[in-house]
Amino acid sequence: MIEFKDVEMQYPNGFKGLKNINVQIAQGEYVAVIGLSGAGKSTFIRCINRMHDITKGELIVNQTNVHQLRGKEIRQLRRNIGMIFQSFNLVTRSTALKNVLVSFVPEMPLWRKLLGIFTQEEKRKALTALDQVGILDKAFVRVDQLSGGQQQRVALARTLAQTPGIILADEPVASLDPMTAKQVMGDFARINKEMNMTVIMNIHHVDLALAYATRVIGIRAGEIVYDGQASDVTEAV
């Protein structure tokens, strides 16, 4: 469960990225956060994993008050929250498998990452994650030889391998062609259903949001202006 109570987030220059946010998101929801560029979508999701710090109110994630967490506790919080970006943030010269391997155990010692030493169990988990997003056959292909959609699936597999309870996705399909974007949205929907992972996704394509998410939150100028079931929305908000 994620709960925002009277949350405000003010940037250091004084600009309020979020104002008066009150919302609850239950485990297993697939939420699309929609709104124009600059509305505050990124600010909203980045508060959840403490990439931004709220400046008023309370933000509770799985019974913990995110604002009160310190160093090690923030890392613990983030272990349960996967993050997917528009730019896939992969090591393009490494294979799909290696990208999943080096990322899914945050506490793995650096020397093991550098030498590429992984256990059979780790490798099995990574391959399972690639299988879950339908690109097991690309495990040993370098990322720079994959299509955009396949690269976003590698990023999704990397997140899945951490088995987080929550996935935050910041415009994950913005740089994909319409067909591929639909497939990736479908991947998120399947993972959300089969693994009961909460998905909170920023997306400016209203039609895609309505077709795949179960709940839609509309943000404008740092405030929630719409919150409802995707199936209740008949036209763009």
The answer to whether residues 198 and 28 touch, using CB atoms and an 8 Å cutoff, is yes
User: Does residue 52 bind ligand ADP (CB under 6 A)?
Assistant: no
d(Cα 5, Cα 154) in Å, to the nearest integer? 35
Burial of 71 (0-12, 13-18, 19+ CB in 10 A): exposed
Which span sits near ligand ADP by CB under 6 A: 12-20, 23-31, 143-151, 187-195? 12-20
User: Does residue 118 bind ligand ADP (CB under 6 A)?
Assistant: yes
Q: Using the rule CB under 6 A, which residue among 4, 34, 41, 217 binds ligand ADP?
A: 41
User: Does residue 42 bind ligand ADP (CB under 6 A)?
Assistant: yes
Q: Using the rule CB under 6 A, which residue among 109, 116, 178, 228 binds ligand ADP?
A: 116
The answer to whether residues 203 and 33 touch, using CB atoms and an 8 Å cutoff, is yes
β-bridge partners, 95: 142
User: Does residue 132 bind ligand ADP (CB under 6 A)?
Assistant: no
32: which 2 tokens? 């699309």
Q: Which is nearer to ligand ADP, 39 or 90 (CB)?
A: 39
Which span sits near ligand ADP by CB under 6 A: 41-49, 84-92, 157-165, 180-188? 41-49
Q: How far is the CB of 86 from ligand ADP (least distance, A)?
A: 10
For residue 169, the one-letter residue type is A
Classified as helix, coil or strand, 118 is coil
Q: Using the rule CB under 6 A, which residue among 25, 29, 31, 35 binds ligand ADP?
A: 35
**CA atoms in the 13 A half-sphere facing the CB of 29:** 19
The residues, any chain, with a CB within 8 Å of residue 56's CB and separated by 6 or more, are 6, 7, 8, 10
Q: Using the rule CB under 6 A, which residue among 21, 29, 43, 149 binds ligand ADP?
A: 43
d(Cα 90, Cα 45) in Å, to the nearest integer? 21
User: Does residue 17 bind ligand ADP (CB under 6 A)?
Assistant: yes
Work out the angle between the directed axes of helices 96-104 and 120-132 (0-180°, nearest 10): 120
User: Does residue 111 bind ligand ADP (CB under 6 A)?
Assistant: no
Q: Which is nearer to ligand ADP, 35 or 164 (CB)?
A: 35
Q: Which is nearer to ligand ADP, 13 or 234 (CB)?
A: 13
Distance of CA 120 to the CA centre of its chain: 27
Q: Using the rule CB under 6 A, which residue among 6, 24, 38, 53 binds ligand ADP?
A: 38
Q: Which residues sit at the interface with ligand ADP, rule CB under 6 A?
A: 11, 13, 15, 17, 35, 37-43, 95, 97-98, 116, 118, 140, 202
